[in-house]
Chains A and B, each alone.
Chain A
Amino acid sequence: MATAPVAAGLKPPTKPRSKPRDSISSWPWTDRIAYGLCWAAGIALCAIAAWIVLYMAIKGVSYLKPSLLVQSPLGSPDQSGSGGFLDPIEGTFLVTAIGIAVAAPLGVAVAVWLSEYARPAGLARAVESGVETIAGTPSVVLAIFGLLIFSKSFLAFLSQTSAGGAVFGRSFLTAGLIMSLLAIPLIVGSTREALAQVPAHVREASYALGKTKATTIRRVLLPSVRPSIASGITLGMGRIIGDTAIIVILLGASLRLEGAGGAPILSILRGTGSTLTSYVKENSPAGEGNAPQKAYAAAFVLLMIVIALNAIVMRLSRGQARADGTV
C-alpha cells in the first residue's frame, strides 16, 4: 500500500527528541534551594572521598618502601629508626584467619538453623535477637568480656601462664576468638538472605526425589548460596581487619610476634604480637612510636587490603545474583 506523499517542507524526525525535563527555573524557590543542597551534598561527598583517597595514596606511596614490608619492627617502643612492619602484617593475617575459621562454621550453622528449622519459634527469635545484640555491641565491651573469661585458669591453654601461675589471657587465640564474634552476625545475615532467596520449588524438588532435609541442605542449598557465604565471610574479614580495640586489649601489645614456648605453631598462636591497626595507632601521635611516616605506610597497606576485600565482595555478590537468576 502506497504511503501518502509527505507534504513538502516537512521532514521526518532524524534523531530522538531529548527526554522532557522540567526546567529547574520553573520550580518554586524552596525546591530550587533543596536542589542546590542536593548537588552540594553530592559534590561534597565526592570531594571528601577524593581527598581521603588521594591523601592516603600520596602519603602512603611516598612513605611505603618495600623494605618496610619485609623487616620486623624494632624492639623498642620508639620506631623512628629502621625496621618495618612485617610482624604486624603477619599478625593481621593470623588474627583474621583464626577469627574466620571460628566464625564461618558457626555463622553458617546458625543461619541454616534459623532459616530451615527454627523450632521452637521462641528460641529462634531469641537466637535472632542474640545475633543482633552482638552486631550492635561495641567491640570494647566484647574485648573486656574476653579478657575476663580468658583469664580463668580452665582457659589457660589459650594463652600463656607465667612462672608464678598468673594466666596472661592475651594471645592470638583469645583475640581471634573474640574477633569471630564480630564476623558472625555478618555471615549469618548474608547466608540467611541468600537462603531466603532460594525458591521453594528447589527444596520441594529435592524432597520429591526422596532426599532428607539434612541432605538437601548439604547437597543442594548450601552449594547454591556459596557466593553469599563467601561474601559474608569477606565482609566479616573486612570488619575483623579494621578493628583496633580488641587487638589493643587482647593481643598483648608486643611489637613482634613473641611465642609462648612449646610446639612451634601453637607457640605463636598462644603468644602475643601486634597487627597493622595497633601498629598504626602506636606510631601515630597518640602512641609512643614517634614514626608518623611508618604509620602512613602501614595505614596505606591496610587500606589496600580492605579495598581488595571490597572488590572481592562485589564480584562475589554479582556471582550470586547471576546464580539466582536476578541478574
Chain B
Amino acid sequence: MRRPSRTLIVSLIAAVALTAPAAAGARALLLSGSTSIFPLMTQLAAAYHKATHQPTPKVGQGTSDAGINEVAAGKVDIGDVSRDPIIGVDPHGLVFTKIARDGVCVITNPKNPISNLSQEEVKAIFTGSVRDWSEVPGAKISGSIDLVDRVASSGTQDAFQNIFLGETLKISPSAEAEESNGLVQNKIRTDENAIGFVSFDFTPGTNAVGYQGIPCTLANAKSGQYQGVRNFWMVTKGVPKGAAAKFIAWITSGNAITKKIIGSDWIPIH
C-alpha cells in the first residue's frame, strides 16, 4: 500500500507544478506574418524588451496572408503584413496600423550586373514574354532567364505586381515560387541566370537593379525618387488592446530608438 500512495503524491505534485506556471508570469505577445517585416520586427521586439522590460514579443514568419489569417483566427496577437488591405478579401474586423515603408528591389546575380531596367523591360521579363538574356539590353550573360517569384500569399509579391506590373499583368506561372525573401536571395546568389525581387533588407550579396533610371538604394527610397516603395502594417483583430496596444504605440511613437532601427534599412514615417 505504501508504494502506490507515494507515486500518487509525486504525480499530484508534478501535475500542480506543471499547471501552476501556466497561470503565473507575464505573457509575451505573439506575432507572425510577412517575411519582409521579420528582420525589422525582431529588432523592434528586442529593443522593446530592453526599453520597457515587458517580455520580448515572439515573432514568427509565414507570409503576409498567413499572418492576416492567423490574427483573424485568434492564433496570434498581431499580424505583420507588407501589402495594403484588400477590401472584400481580407476578413472583417481587422485594423491595419501603418508602421513604416519599405523598398522593393529587382535583383540579379552579381555575375549579371544589370544597372537598370525600364518598366517595359521589367514587365516583359516577369510576365514571360522575354525568355532569354540575349533579348535583355545590359545583360552580361546569356542563356534562358530563370524567373524567381514568391508564393502567392506573399505581401511582397502583391506589392511587386501592383507597383511594377500594374493592375492587370501577372507574373508568369512558370516562375519558381519561393516561400520567403531569404530563399529568393539564396536562389539569386547561386544561380547566374536568375532574376527576382526582394525587400530592400535582403539585397546584400546580389546586384540590385535600378528601376526607371533610379538606382534601388535606401537614400533614393527615402527621398521618394525610387518608385518601388510599399507600406508595412501591423494588423490586429479590432482596435489594438492591452499589451498589443502598448507595443504598437511604442513603435509608432516616433521615439529615437524606433527611428534608428527603422531608418537603418527601411523608411520611417513617424
List the interface of chain A (C-beta within 8 A of B).
75-78, 151, 156-157, 160-166, 168, 253-254, 258, 260-263, 266-267, 270, 272, 285, 287-288, 290
Q: Which residues does chain A contribute within 8 Å of B190, judged by CB atoms?
A: 285
B169-191 with Cβ < 8 A to chain A:
180, 182-183, 186, 189-190
Within the complex, the shortest CB–CB distance from B197 to chain A, in Å, comes to 17
Task: Number of B interface residues at 8 Å Cβ cutoff, please give it.
Answer: 33
Measured CA separation A161–B58 after assembly (Å): 11
Question: Are B27 and A263 closer than 8 Å at their CB atoms?
Answer: no
Given A163-B243, A261-B27, A263-B17, decide whether A253 and B74 contact each other with a Cβ distance below 8 A.
Answer: no
Within the complex, the shortest CB–CB distance from A271 to chain B, in Å, comes to 10
Q: Is B263 an interface residue (CB 8 A)?
A: no
Question: Are B75 and A261 closer than 8 Å at their CB atoms?
Answer: no
Q: What would 8 more interface pairs be, CB under 8 Å, given A157-B19, A163-B243, A288-B182?
A: A75-B42, A156-B22, A162-B76, A163-B77, A164-B242, A258-B58, A261-B25, A263-B17
Contact for A77 among B25, B75, B182, B189, CB less than 8 A: B182
Contact for B75 among A151, A267, A288, CB less than 8 A: A151
Query: Which residue of the partner chain A has the closest CB to B56?
Result: A258
Contact for A165 among B18, B21, B26, B74, CB less than 8 A: B74
Q: Is B136 an interface residue (CB 8 A)?
A: no
Q: Is B214 an interface residue (CB 8 A)?
A: no
Given A157-B18, A164-B244, A166-B75, decide whether A262 and B25 contact each other with a Cβ distance below 8 A.
Answer: yes
Measured CA separation A160–B23 after assembly (Å): 10
Q: Is B138 an interface residue (CB 8 A)?
A: no
Query: Which residue of the partner chain A has the closest CB to B244?
Result: A164
Q: Which residues does chain B contribute within 8 Å of A76, judged by CB atoms?
A: 39, 42
Number of A-B contacts (CB under 8 A): 80
Query: Which residue of the partner chain B has the closest CB to A156?
Result: B22
9 inter-chain pairs at a CB distance below 8 angstroms, sorted by A residue, are A77-B38, A163-B244, A164-B241, A164-B244, A166-B74, A168-B30, A261-B21, A272-B58, A288-B180
Bits for B48-89, please: 1 = Cβ < 8 Å to A, else 0. 000000010010100000000000001111000000000000
Question: Are B21 and A267 closer than 8 Å at their CB atoms?
Answer: yes
Question: Are A161 and B22 closer than 8 Å at their CB atoms?
Answer: yes
Which of B29, B38, B182 counts the most chain A CB atoms within 10 A?
B182
Within the complex, the shortest CB–CB distance from B191 to chain A, in Å, comes to 10
Given A76-B39, A162-B28, A163-B27, decide whether A157 and B22 contact each other with a Cβ distance below 8 A.
Answer: yes
Within the complex, the shortest CB–CB distance from A278 to chain B, in Å, comes to 14
User: Shortest 3 CB-CB distances between A and B: which pairs?
Assistant: A262-B21, A288-B182, A162-B30
Q: Which residues does chain A contribute within 8 Å of B180, judged by CB atoms?
A: 288
Contact for A78 among B24, B25, B182, CB less than 8 A: B182
